[in-house]
Amino acid sequence: MKKKKLILDVDTGVDDAQAIMMALAAPNVEILAITCSHGNATLDNVCKNTLRVLKTCNRLDIPVYRGCSEPVLGRKLNSGDFHGKDGLGDAPDPDAPGLELLQKRRAAKAIIKIVNQNPGEVTLVATAPLTNLAVAAQLNPSFCKNLKALYIMGGNSESRGNITVCGEFNFVADPEAAFIVLDRYTCPTYIATWEFTCKNILPWSFCDTWLAQDTEKARFMEKIYSYTRKMVQTERFQKELVSGPGFNSCDTYAVAAAIDDTLVTESVEVAVTVELEGAHARGMMVLDYMDLLKKKHKVFIMKSIDQEKFKQLLMNALK
């Protein structure tokens, strides 16, 4: 079986770690590179966290690239300490690999080179602010045509926010980058929005079973997830999840969809853009159901998934 070639663009907090581990465990996937962006933590911490996840999975052979440390316009958004100050639950590892293991080439240039060397074969999965992807498009506009597909965790479809009134974190962290990517990337594009992840959450009982696996990976995940889990299980946060309380591993949805073409059972195809102005709406994804934007390129907004397949991918990630 020919393996799917993936590049993962991440801002490694806990859910990115979950997504990376899911991709690493998939037998039909070859990860060509992991590129790091500002977002859940400082860029240095994101790079360290990514290397730490790879070490846990014995996959430090995968090249990791340092990307952008701030948004296109430099209006940096403070992500707070949702995943802890370091992005991995403030559960340090004294033996964690160092930044000397990073590749010398920068993320945007690495994306361009790898995609152009494998025309029509590489799927790019972005679970971070889209700065690296936007810079790549600006450096080499034609490379986008060589992508097989693009999967994004970000944006929103019903104007529900998780960082501002009606903005999702990854898009609000760099609205200009999100605008550029949704405008210039014309390959098949699939988006797992904030509302989509909320409506496809899993019960906490599954999370308990998932973390109870007797493996080093499961113990690592339980350790780094403890801080965030306590926070998200509060009544205030659970009310934000649209469809009631549950376990929401946001970034894994985009990776799961890239791994398994049959995972998404319902989607809608529509042209989209990003609002760049407004006191409340900056960074909000706009869905053009009336075709007023006259955009030829439309994206697939995920609606529902096969939850049993999703659960199995999560379970496999920690085996």
Structure confidence at residue 85 (pLDDT): 83
Catalytic residue, candidates 11, 16, 251, 260: 11
Structure confidence at residue 235 (pLDDT): 67
Q: 118 φ, ψ to 5°?
A: -130, 60
Q: 15 φ, ψ to 5°?
A: -70, -30
Structure confidence at residue 156 (pLDDT): 96
List the beta strands (DSSP E) in 11-130. 29-36, 64-66, 122-126
Structure confidence at residue 78 (pLDDT): 65
CB 46 within 8 A of CB 37: yes
Listed by start position, the domains of the chain span 4-317
Active site residue 251: no
Q: 314 φ, ψ to 5°?
A: -65, -45
pLDDT over 90 at 173, yes or no: yes
Across the range 31-49, mean pLDDT stands at 96
For residue range 66-91, list pLDDT tens digits in order: 999 999 997 777 666 777 788 898 88
Across the range 266-284, mean pLDDT stands at 96
Does the predicted TM-score (pTM) go above 0.85? yes
Residue 71: count of CB within 10 angstroms of its CB = 23
pLDDT over 70 at 238, yes or no: no
Q: Which residues contact 293 (CB under 8 A, 6 or more apart)?
A: 271, 273
Amino acid letter, residue 23: A
Query: Which pLDDT band holds residue 232 (cuts at 50, 70, 90)?
Result: confident
CATH class of 4-317: alpha beta
Please return the burial class of 200, using the count of CB atoms within 10 Å of its CB with bins 0-12, 13-18 and 19+. buried
Structure confidence at residue 222 (pLDDT): 97
pLDDT over 90 at 148, yes or no: yes
